[in-house]
Amino acid sequence: MHDYVVADVFTDTMLEGNPLAVFLDAADIPAERMQRIARELNLSETVFVMPPESGGDVRLRIFTPVNELPFAGHPTMGTAFVIGELTDKISIIMETGMGLVPFELDRVDGKVQWARMRQPIPEWQPYEKAPHLLEALGLETSTLPIEVYRNGPRHVFVGLPNVRALSALRPDLLMLADHLDMAANCFAGAGSEWRMRMFSPAYGVAEDAATGSAAGPLAIHLGRHGLVPFGTRIEVQQGVEMGRTSKMYAQVTGAANEIGLVEVSGQAVVIARGTMLI
């Protein structure tokens, strides 16, 4: 039997944000069974926590319903809150497939209220299937160049002129499924306030309520193309069209040719505890 916790991530309100299952004592679960458990729970991600091996406090394995990810944002953020609830730590270093991911926890009266993660700095390049992607999304063009960023998952960014157009998107998920190993992140906004929708049949997620691993790359994308000055903290809302509003905050230091710190922050709330009878 294995105990697990369910948390709603990038929100402080139960039944909003992006849900996540966290198995806290998973050292004896084989990888094949981890994948089957993730498929059974059918959340966008499920996390399995194990003893550290490379200098961190814990080691994570992260699974979507169809595959394992070396790094993801809302699973690591939610795990930070779950561990924070069980300990008095103010910092946690997580071992992931993309290396060490440090977290700082802000507490009020001992309870974790806020967490900040330092994300891996992604690589980026033009997306080679941009015309087909636009067709799958039902769009003719993007407000910025369509580029793919990799910080574990591969995130492709497509800009829309306004939030109304973003909310009106009705993508062809069968066409999107032809785009392997990628998530299509569509965004709109201005200044420090942005909205995003993420579609990724390739990762087993038709639409995601909060994509923390895309928040940092979005801030880089906006900075590189001159829409947001580097060093500005942006707010990214997601999940609005799903009825699961999430709020992520991202800040990138440095310059277009030399990225410094990529920090993503937010909240989470534990909503359930359970035992899997396996």
> Could you give the 3-state DSSP secondary structure of residue 203?
helix
Q: What is the pLDDT of residues 217-232, one digit of tens each?
A: 999 999 999 999 999 9
CATH code where residue 168 lies:
3.10.310.10
Q: Are residues 271 and 251 in the same domain?
A: no
Beta bridge pairs of residue 125:
148
pLDDT confidence of residue 130: 98
Q: Are residues 29 and 84 in the same domain?
A: yes
Q: Where are the beta strands (DSSP E) in 18-110?
A: 18-23, 46-50, 58-63, 68-69, 91-96, 99-108
State which H helix or E strand residue 159 sits in: strand 154-159
CA-based nearest residue to 128, from 156, 159, 152, 151: 156
Q: Are residues 98 and 159 in the same domain?
A: no
DSSP assignment letter at 122: P
Below-50 pLDDT ranges, the chain = none
CA-based nearest residue to 149, from 183, 174, 117: 183
Q: Are residues 234 and 152 in the same domain?
A: yes
Q: Are residues 60 and 88 in the same domain?
A: yes
Beta bridge pairs of residue 158:
186
Domain count, the chain: 2
pLDDT confidence of residue 238: 98
Q: What is the pLDDT of residues 231-269, one digit of tens each?
A: 999 999 999 999 999 999 999 999 999 999 999 999 999
pLDDT confidence of residue 278: 81
Q: How far apart, in whole angstroms, are the C-alpha atoms of residue 112 and residue 106?
A: 6
CA-based nearest residue to 74, from 206, 205, 271, 265: 265
pLDDT confidence of residue 162: 98
State which H helix or E strand residue 66 sits in: none
45 is catalytic: yes
Q: Are residues 137 and 245 in the same domain?
A: yes
Q: How far apart, in whole angstroms, are the C-alpha atoms of residue 161 and residue 222?
A: 14
Catalytic residue among 16, 45, 147, 207: 45
Q: Are residues 158 and 256 in the same domain?
A: yes
| Contact between 247 and 240 (Cβ < 8 Å) | no
Q: Are residues 35 and 154 in the same domain?
A: no
pLDDT confidence of residue 43: 96
| Contact between 56 and 100 (Cβ < 8 Å) | yes
Q: Are residues 92 and 181 in the same domain?
A: no
Contacts of 241 (CB under 8 A, 6+ apart): 167, 197, 207
